[in-house]
Structure 1
Amino acid sequence: MNIYQQIEAEIQAASNIIITAHKSADGDSIGSSLGLLHFIEKLGKKATVCHPDKAPNFLYWLDTSAILLMEETPEAVTNAFKHADLIFCLDYNATNRVGPEMQALLEECTVKKIMIDHHLNPEDFPFLTVSETSVCSTSQLIVELIEQSGSIHLLDENIGTPLYLGILTDTGNFRFNSVQPRTHEIIAKLLTAGVQHHLIHEKLNDTNTESRLRLQGYAMSQKLEILYDYNVAIISLSKEELATYNYKKGDTDSLANTALSIKGMKAAIVFTERDGIMKISFRSKGVENPVNILAANHFNGGGHANAAGGMSELSVQETLEKLKELIPQYFPKEQQN
């Protein structure tokens, strides 16, 4: 019996399953959660998705009504944990990734936990762990679960649509080096199951608001700084600047990749002032330019080599100055011709 067959056996034996994912929801955490939920339901079992906070606005086209949010309905989430007999931990490798309130519930709950994740250095709290750091997304691993447990015949459009979304967003539209031949094999299975990929691309990309585009235009035209000696781009946005453009969650998610697309850039760093702290996104190109170490060593963060996150409790200006001091340590200075 392989580990995926073990996981399906645990699903079949459980009565009240919880699916959790990390704080600051993204396409992969939402996609893997909903894909697993619909798969469990197809098996004839019940599950409840419990997330720390809301999904970004650009994912609202998905039916997220089944997701209980700790930030909005803590009593309902607490009650779900109280009655749970199996907990899935998707797209995170440590209990602190779910936020302090849900972390307390997760650590106090003594039932079996199953981790399915693709981030480095997983903690050893789960009963079963699928940790595949070379895989592009947790959503891809959910498809592996469905196939390798012997249930590929259950895969349909309802299950596959959020999983396609998760793979799409966590690979930057299939551009990151984490994409492997197996990724495209998985995509072929999703399309065969009825997933309408063109509609997902439309719903994901053709949902800009005027305020979002104006904020992004302001960020690129007025707040972009390029450290040409190191080929690193930085964008900083204060809470006042975000408010000016009626910021909604997710409005700045593409800025780091946009800045990174500038010819010659090795890395791009975007930080925004929210909830009293600076939330930082790190993006880079190539194995020789990892950003997860910078995030982990100095900004209480981490992630993948070329895509990581972090935070700073310093002011906007202080955070900017700290980054500029650190960049020479992590990115070689460009040789001048």
Structure 2
Amino acid sequence: MNIYKQIETEIKAASNIVITAHKSADGDSIGSSLGLLYFIEKLGKKAVICHPDKAPDFLYWLDTSAILLMEENPEDVEAEINKADLIFCLDYNAINRVGPEMQVLLEAANGKKIMIDHHLNPEEFPAITVSETTASSTSQLIVDLIEESDNLELLDKKIGTPLYLGILTDTGSFRFNSVKPRTHEVLAKLLAAGVEHHLIHEKLSDNNTETRLRLQGYAMSEKLEILYDYNVAIISLSKEELAKYQYKKGDTDSLANLVLSIKGMRAAIVFTERDGIMKISFRSKGAENPVNLLAKEHFNGGGHANASGGMSDLTVDKTLVKLKGLIPLYFSN
């Protein structure tokens, strides 16, 4: 029995299924969670999605009413996880990625855990692990689950739309080197299932607010620093600067990729002061310019070679000084 047929068997045998994903939700964690939920429902079972926190506003054109949030409904999330006999761990490779509150619940949970993820170096906490680090996204792996469990006929527009979204966002609109022939094969299956890809692009692209554009304009014109000796760009934004432009979650998500589009840039780093810490986004181009080690070794983070995250408990100025001191060590060639 292949691992995906095994997962199908676990789904059909379970009485209470919970789907979890990492803190600071993105398109792939939302997309894979909803796609899996709808697939489970097509198999005649029920499930509940429990996420640590709210997704950025630009993802809320999807129906997220099935998602319970730890930050808003901790008692409900605790009850669902405690009674679950099957728990999916989507789009994260380490249990601490769900945040301290949900981590405690998951560690104490008796339900069988299934990891489906594409990040490097997965921890060994699940009973069943699907770790495909060459996959473009976790959403792509949910399509693999549907196909390899011999349920491709169940794939429809409802299941496919969030999965397309997850692949689209996690590949930077199909520009990252994580895109492989298999990625396009999966996309073709989603289109054949009725997914209206052009509408998904429109909903993601045509939803800017005035304050978001003004914040991004300020960041590019006033806060962009380029270290031309290494072709690395950095943007830092304090909590006061974010407040000035009425920052909402997701408003700075595209900044790193925008900076990376500058001709000749090897890497872009954007960090923002939120919740008392600096949240850092690392982006780079090419296998010769990985950023995951920088994130892991110095900023309590990690991720993909060309797209990683991290954090710093230093001040804005001290974080900036630290970054500038490290750039020559990682981008000297």
User: What range describes the TM-score normalised by the shorter chain of this pair?
Assistant: over 0.9
2:47 partner letter: A
- What pairs up with 1:45-84 in 2 under 5 angstroms? 45-84=45-84
1:292-311 correspondence to structure 2 within 5 Å? 292-311=292-311
| Matching of residues 165-184 of structure 1 within 5 Å | 165-184=165-184
The residue number in structure 1 matching 2:4 is 4
Q: Equivalent residues in 2 for 1:178-327 (5 A)?
A: 178-327=178-327
Amino acid at match of 1:187: L
TM-score in terms of structure 1 length: 0.98
CA offset digits 1:186-230 (Å, max 9, x no partner): 000000000000000000110000000000000000000000010
Contact 2:84-2:110 within 8 A present in 1 as well? no
Q: Answer yes or no: is 1:113 the counterpart of 2:103.
A: no
Report SS of the residue matched to 1:273: strand
Per the TM alignment, residue 82 of structure 1 is displaced from its structure 2 partner at its CA by: 1.5
Alpha-carbon distance, 1:109 to partner? 0.6
Alpha-carbon distance in structure 2 between the residues aligned to 1:59 and 1:44: 27
- Whichever residue aligns with residue 100 of structure 2, its letter is P
- Deviation string 1:211-259 (CA, Å, 9 cap, x unpaired) is 0000000000000000001000000000000000000000000000000
Q: Residue 205 of structure 2 aligns to which amino acid in structure 1?
A: N
Quote how far apart the aligned CAs of 1:110 are: 2.0
CA distance in structure 2 between the aligned counterparts of 1:320 and 1:332, rounded to whole angstroms: 18
Match of 1:17 in 2: 17
List structure 1 runs of 4+ shifted beyond 6 angstroms. Answer: none
Q: SS at 1:35's partner residue?
A: helix
Which digits, 9 at most, give the CA deviation of each residue in 1:143-178, with x for residues without a partner? 000000000000000000000000000000000000
For residue 96 of structure 1, what is the aligned residue in structure 2?
Answer: 96
Post-superposition offset of 1:7: 0.2
- The answer to whether the 8 Å contact 2:25/2:53 transfers is yes
**Which letter does structure 1 place at the counterpart of 2:322?**
K
Match of 2:138 in 1: 138
CA RMSD in angstroms, aligned pairs only: 0.5
* Equivalent residue number for residue 161 of structure 1: 161
Question: For the residues of structure 1 that align with 2:31 and 2:198, how far apart are their CA atoms?
Answer: 17
Alignment gaps of 5+ in structure 2: none
Q: Deviations over 1:10-43 (max 9, x none)?
A: 0000011000000000000000000000000111
Secondary structure of 1:115 counterpart? strand
Distance in 2 between residues matched to 1:110 and 1:14, nearest whole Å: 13
* SS of structure 2 residue aligned to 1:61: coil
Q: Residue 15 of structure 2: SS of its match in structure 1?
A: coil
Q: Which amino acid aligns with 1:240?
A: E
Q: What is the aligned-residue identity percentage?
A: 80
Q: Distance in 2 between matches of 1:110 and 1:297?
A: 33
State the 1:2 CA deviation: 0.4
Query: Residues of 1 paired with 2:225 and 2:29: CA distance?
Result: 31
- Which amino acid is 1:323 matched to? L
Tell me the TM-score normalised to structure 2 length. 0.99
Note the C-alpha offset of 1:83. 1.1
CA distance in 2, matches of 1:108, 1:199: 42
